A = this chain, B = another copy of it.
Amino acid sequence: MKEVTLKQIAENLGISITTVSKALKNYPDVSKKTKALVKEEAKKLHYKPNVFAVNLRMQRSKTVGLIIPEVVHHFFSSVVNGIIEQAEKKGYLVIILQSNESSKLEKKQIDLLISKRVDGIMISLASTTTDISHLQEVKELEIPLVMFDKISKLVQCSKIIINDREAAYKATKHLIDSGCRRIAHFRGALLPQNSIDRFLGYKKALEDHGIVYDSSLVYICERVDYEDGIAAAKQLLKDHDDVDGIFAITDLVAIGAISVFNEMGIKVPQDISIMGFSNWFIASAITPSLSTVNQPGYEMGKKTFKTLHKEMKAKRDGTEFTPVTKVLKTAVIKRNSTK
């Protein structure tokens, strides 16, 4: 059972390969009659063009690459969902790689994608990435590039993000508006930009509302997970007895904290209010349900691919494309962990 090729069809019909190819692509210099004949024969033999040959000839793969820090992560998997849905609509396939928050791996994977000659690359940076030479290389090779969520301001490319600072501001303000005055912050590691931005938003909200910023109320959660939340909450209880609100960098951290308070018999939100971040869907399923800030992962994925697609199209057409930065809307979601 040999592969069906253009040659096959051409021989069956006694015409040239050229004509067959053109007929299938509706070139104007092929008569209606031959077009019909060719198409019929192609259907009969179940002809499928050999993508390898097409790729080689066209110098493109109709495949794009995606690098994210973690696959097993609600926010990123939502992004992935948005991306692959949109990509499929446009006839593109997506190769997914995971940097595991390692800058070194990230570099390797960029090289891998380049060597696979993907038509475009989407990336959310590892927390530790500071050297961005691998991304500059992508730009130099003129491979369309879009960054999302965890970006670097130093790279000239399109970006799809939220305003972490503003979102954190809104979250903190919500706590203040509901009556909290001693508000702690469970932040992420020192380096990642969104960890910094959320911290700054928190600080600014305090200052704007006449609350003195107290650095002893800020706890660092290195890995930003459930255990970190538990640890921070326990430490907080040791250090302070007057805190009436917590803004956690992420829902998971907030949930860790809640579980500690539940266990200790500390009432949420009566004794202490808690805000999360991301609106991970489980936030509505815990007790008490978690107030949080919505971070639109699916939307972000959609927008990311759409932007990449425009850029790839511009490259094919040889038209100019100026990078855009799109800031997606966030919104406070009030539930039962705040008053």
Contacts and interface: CB of A to CB of B under 8 A. Distances in A.
Instruction: Indicate how many identical chains form the complex.
Output: 2
Contacts of A50: 56, 117
A115 B78 CA distance: 27
Given A72-B78, A256-B285, A116 B93 contact: yes
Contacts of A31: none
Interface string A221-263: 0000010000000000000000000000000100110010011
Interface class of chain A by DSSP: helix
A50 to B, nearest CB: 7
A281 to B, nearest CB: 7
A88 B97 contact: yes
A196 to B, nearest CB: 27
A61 interface: yes
Interface stretch (A16-24, A79-87, A305-313): A79-87
Interface in A75-102: 77-78, 80-81, 84-85, 88, 93-98
Interface residues of A, number: 46
Interface of A: 48-53, 55-56, 59, 61, 63, 71-74, 77-78, 80-81, 84-85, 88, 93-98, 112, 114-117, 226, 252, 255-256, 259, 262-263, 281-282, 284-287
11 contacts: A49-B115, A52-B56, A52-B117, A63-B95, A71-B77, A71-B80, A72-B80, A94-B96, A226-B281, A259-B287, A286-B286
